């Protein structure tokens, strides 16, 4: 019982800690939609350059002409810049979008036990906010990828894929793309490390003081 109260207090304290970041993180989020599916995403540059999950394309039956990027309740057409199926990473660029807010990627891995938070957006602009802790930084028990990913206690769910997992400094440490199913029906978050994301991005874009831009 004491342990349960201690965990509850930590959870409440964690929620209070994230309030100051919400106002800066949420403006950098978007979601991709299709009549069959949806996925979260986030911008990494001020001219509509963003990241989401590759499995969105498969779920949408590759009908890209029927897909839209939704940002601040406005729909935008978008192009696929590049992707990495093994990393479940999709790099997109919204058309006719400029001066959008964006998030920055961490160049360092998180520590086990570090506080993180999963953010996202899905249908009808509903915001996702799921705080938790890093449980494993070398998780390899997923059928969908052989790349070691991060496992956290953040609660993932439908539409959360593509959402950024941030540390308390406001840096993206990873991108949520799956759940582990280690605990049956209890949802967690398996996420692709920012270091892997950066290695994929470097092939088509470069980082500047004002975010990532295409080469």
pLDDT recorded at residue 15: 52
Predicted confidence (pLDDT) at residue 14 exceeds the cutoff of 50? no
Domains and CATH numbers, the chain: 27-102+198-214 (2.40.10.10), 104-195 (2.40.10.10)
Percentage of the chain beyond pLDDT 70 is 90
Place of tokens 């400029």: 98
> 143: pLDDT confidence band, cut at 50, 70 and 90?
confident
pLDDT, residue 3, reads: 32
pTM of the model: 0.90
Task: Dig out the tokens for 85 from the structure.
Answer: 């199926």
Q: What is the mean pLDDT of the chain?
A: 89
Three-class secondary structure assignment of 9-71: HHHHHHHHHHHHHHHHHHHHEEEEEECCEEEEEEECCCCCEEEECCHHHHHCCCCHHHCEEEE
Confidence of residue 183 (pLDDT cuts 50, 70, 90): low
Give the whole-number percent of the chain exceeding pLDDT 90. Answer: 72
Whether 61 shows a pLDDT value over 70: the answer reads: yes
Alpha-carbon radius of gyration of the chain:
16
């Amino acid at each position: 019982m004491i342990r349960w109260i201690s965990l509850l207090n930590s959870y409440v304290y964690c929620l209070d800690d994230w309030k100051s970041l919400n106002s800066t993180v949420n403006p950098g989020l978007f979601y991709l939609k299709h009549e069959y599916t949806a996925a979260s995403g986030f911008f990494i540059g001020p001219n509509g350059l963003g990241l989401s999950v590759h499995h969105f394309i498969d779920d949408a039956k590759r009908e890209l002409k029927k897909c839209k990027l939704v940002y601040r309740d406005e729909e935008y057409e978008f192009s696929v810049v590049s992707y990495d199926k093994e990393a479940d990473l999709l790099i997109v660029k919204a058309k006719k979008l400029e001066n959008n807010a964006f998030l920055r990627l961490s160049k360092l891995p998180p520590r086990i036990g570090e506080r993180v938070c999963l953010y996202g957006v899905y249908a009808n602009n509903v915001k996702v906010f799921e705080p938790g802790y890093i449980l494993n930084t070398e998780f390899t028990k997923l059928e969908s990828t052989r790349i070691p990913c991060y496992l956290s206690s953040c609660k993932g769910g439908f539409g959360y894929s593509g959402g950024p997992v941030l540390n308390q400094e406001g840096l993206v440490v990873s991108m949520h793309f799956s759940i582990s199913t280690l605990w049956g029906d209890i949802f967690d978050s398996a996420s692709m490390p920012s270091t892997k994301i950066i290695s994929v991005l470097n092939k088509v874009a470069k980082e500047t003081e004002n975010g990532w831009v295409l080469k």
